[in-house]
Structure 1
Amino acid sequence: MRKLKVVIVACALFVLGFVVFYSVKQPTYSIKTEGILYIVNKVSKSVTIFELNEGQEIKELPIAVEPHEAAFVKNLNRLVVTNYGSSNENSNNLTVINPKDNKVIHEIALGKSSKPHGIIPLKAPNKVAVVTDIGNDLSIVNIATGKLEKQIATQQEFSHLLVEHPKKPLVYVSNINSGSVSVIDIQLDSVVKVIPFSNKVEGIDISADGTELWVTNIKENLVYVVNTETNKTLTTLSTGKEPLRLKFSNDDKYCLVSNASDGTVSVYDSKSKKEIATIHIPGKKNILEKILYHTPRPVGILMHPNGQYAFVSNFTAGRVEVIDLNSFTIVSSIKVGQMPDGLALIN
């Protein structure tokens, strides 16, 4: 009996110690910076709204179907979310949110195309561009009128993400299954070039001056650096495993790549094309760390307008990691919903 009591007490102390250790070790939000961060949670079917100066969640806004990405239309003060749907449910619309009260205003249908994923605000006021995994269209939507203005076929398969040229009326779309990028003139409403790579290209971004397009290959673990004048690959860069997204810093000095299977973020010097840092997200070192932090899977990347921070959605851990762009270290973490993906910030 005495031995049993000793075992019970020991187990209780172990559990208590683990709980205390877990609470202490959990990453917390400790910085102060301006803006409201919107995090799209796929499995939670919600958008977490987080105040970055006070470090507090304002609201978790439910979305009718599984959302994936988001974009902020500044001149209208509207947040737009792509309603992708699940494996058992196809959706074909966008949700429009008013950041003044963080309420859903309405939804906008995208016609026959379904599973909208990538979305960006366009240089033209009031408008966003959206690509769909099924239908493979680039849709131009007027958020002010709530109308789908036009759809342009990408001529490729599994069109997933996109970026706009900063100076020309061109939108570049990454096509995962075709292993290509469609170059679309949104004034001529046509594909002017298909840049071939190999299967499974996904992440995409363009330099601030528009001279270089960087594209990730999630199967071969590399980045293609493309000259936008010739549409030819200048060089390729090795990455970690499964580089899902990439994003240039505001000053164009660096490019961050989220390596989902490695649980890391690679930092490249955009001029030298050299990897200068690898940021390891907690959760991969050992079993205890996996229990404490969950195995990390970095996905979406967003740069703060002040140029000091990058936000990375940690898909499997239900967190957003905050990276200091001076030290290239994680300085804070935000607890969000289940399987965070897309990010948007209103400053």
Structure 2
Amino acid sequence: ASLSVVDIAERAVSRTVAVRGEPAALGHNAQEGRLYVVSRAENTLSVLDGTSFEEMAALPVGSWPVGVFWNPVNNRAFVINEGSNDLHVYHGRNHGLLGIVRVGVLPSAWWWDAAANNLWVVNNGSNDLTVINCSTLAVAATVRVGSGPVELAAGPNGQYLYVSNATAGTLSKVEVAGRRVTATIPVGYRPGAMVVDSANARLWVCAEGSNQVKVLCTAGDTVITDFDPGSLPVALAWNPAAKRIYVANFFGNSVTIIRETTGLAGEPVAGPEPARFFTVVARVGSRLRLDRAGVRGPLSVHDPAGRLVARFAGTEWRTAGTGAGSYFITAGRPARPVARVVLLD
């Protein structure tokens, strides 16, 4: 496993650094000049010198870590562990373990409220958000949202959060100060990644299950149009200088560029009617029946990199011989995602 160091001015890889197995996420401690690398294979947080890229420490974390967040107020690194449903918190200077914070089931995403110094964590498996006080490490609140939450994004003024609920096909609008859901917005099949265009008060949402990108007006929380960017849109980025939205299409192996002011007055286009997306959590070696929600074989199993893991004619997946991790089940032609399976040791 390795880390590529890119020279921004030259737009070229200047160095390749060996790291621990299955690096899943990066973090940067600006105060100490250090890099954090999360290793899923070893369940560790590697601390690298930001200049030499030498490993300074390898800190144990929980199972299946998916991300790391550095808090500049307290100089702490928070590691989100999807497999053990907790966060390991380390001091940014001496690397001491400050605490382990229990959250909901399958934490998958997070957002930092800088004004209150609270960390909001999305729990995909328990359909809620955990609000953590970053100074005391106490859980300040638990907020129920829709089914299968996967991502969250702050609105233009930071007073509200939008949570994409993949299984429910909705967004939950959450008041940050009141820690409560104020609206539920239908957006289509399997909403995932989101990005906020604060200049135009727009929220862009990947509706992965229908291969669309939905555009919402945040003033009224209504869908005003949608686009068909490619096969399985999974990530978004907003370029305010160029006034462009970039959409990464997983199965399309492409990036679609959309002018942010084009087509916003258009009528929404109805998407196809794929089976409702669902998530399954099971142990390695389980025999999984995937014939729910209208799913029919043949089915294909892909890893997060898009590599084919298995293909079978029916709807039962015998997972013996498959390693722990997260997998996507697709069906039909063209292939569409119908389920996410998380296998635990």
Q: AA paired with 1:238?
A: D
1:247 to 231, 237, 256: 237
- The aligned residue for residue 117 of structure 2 is 126
The alignment covers a number of residue pairs equal to 247
- The aligned residue for residue 93 of structure 1 is 86
Measured on the aligned residues, the alpha-carbon RMSD in Å equals 3.3
Q: Which has the higher strand share?
A: 2
Secondary structure, aligned partner of 2:167: coil
Q: Within 5 Å, which residues of 2 pair with 1:9-48?
A: 29-31=5-7, 37-47=35-45
Secondary structure, aligned partner of 2:110: strand
- The aligned residue for residue 176 of structure 1 is 166
Contact 1:29 1:55 in 2 (8 A): no
1:142 to 133, 149, 173: 133
Q: Within 5 Å, which residues of 2 pair with 1:230-241?
A: 230-241=220-231
**Alpha-carbon distance in structure 2 between the residues aligned to 1:118 and 1:144:** 20
Secondary structure, aligned partner of 2:210: coil
Q: Which has the higher helix share?
A: 1
Secondary structure, aligned partner of 1:167: coil
- Residue 40 of structure 1 and its aligned partner are, at CA, apart by 3.7
**Alpha-carbon distance in structure 2 between the residues aligned to 1:72 and 1:248:** 23
> Closer, same or farther in 2 for the Cα pair 1:30/1:148, shift >3 Å?
closer
TM-score normalised to the size of structure 1?
0.61
Percent of counterpart pairs with the same letter? Answer: 21
- The aligned residue for residue 78 of structure 1 is 76
- The aligned residue for residue 218 of structure 2 is 228
Contact 1:179 1:199 in 2 (8 A): yes
**Alpha-carbon distance in structure 2 between the residues aligned to 1:215 and 1:174:** 8
**Alpha-carbon distance in structure 2 between the residues aligned to 1:268 and 1:60:** 42
1:109 to 69, 92, 102: 102
> Closer, same or farther in 2 for the Cα pair 1:65/1:177, shift >3 Å?
same
> Closer, same or farther in 2 for the Cα pair 1:229/1:28, shift >3 Å?
closer
Q: AA paired with 2:109?
A: G
Verify: 1:316 aligned to 2:305, yes or no.
yes
> Closer, same or farther in 2 for the Cα pair 1:42/1:211, shift >3 Å?
farther
- Residue 80 of structure 1 and its aligned partner are, at CA, apart by 1.8
**Alpha-carbon distance in structure 1 between the residues aligned to 2:52 and 2:243:** 30
- The aligned residue for residue 287 of structure 1 is none
1:51-80: CA deviations, max 9, x gaps? Answer: 666566666544221112333322222222
> Closer, same or farther in 2 for the Cα pair 1:182/1:262, shift >3 Å?
same
> Closer, same or farther in 2 for the Cα pair 1:210/1:54, shift >3 Å?
farther
Q: Which has the higher contact order (CA 8 A, sep 6+)?
A: 1
- The aligned residue for residue 251 of structure 2 is 261
**Alpha-carbon distance in structure 2 between the residues aligned to 1:52 and 1:240:** 37
> Closer, same or farther in 2 for the Cα pair 1:144/1:172, shift >3 Å?
same
Q: Is there any run of 5+ residues in structure 2 with no aligned partner, and where?
A: 10-29, 265-302, 307-324, 327-345
- The aligned residue for residue 197 of structure 2 is 207
The range that moved more, 62-71 or 51-60, is 51-60
Contact 2:128 2:144 in 1 (8 A): yes
Q: Is there any run of 5+ residues in structure 1 with no aligned partner, and where?
A: 1-25, 86-90, 275-313, 318-337, 340-347
> Closer, same or farther in 2 for the Cα pair 1:183/1:210, shift >3 Å?
farther
TM-score normalised to the size of structure 2?
0.62
**Alpha-carbon distance in structure 2 between the residues aligned to 1:235 and 1:198:** 12
**Alpha-carbon distance in structure 2 between the residues aligned to 1:210 and 1:121:** 23
Q: Within 5 Å, which residues of 2 pair with 1:293-332?
A: 316=305
- Residue 202 of structure 1 and its aligned partner are, at CA, apart by 0.8
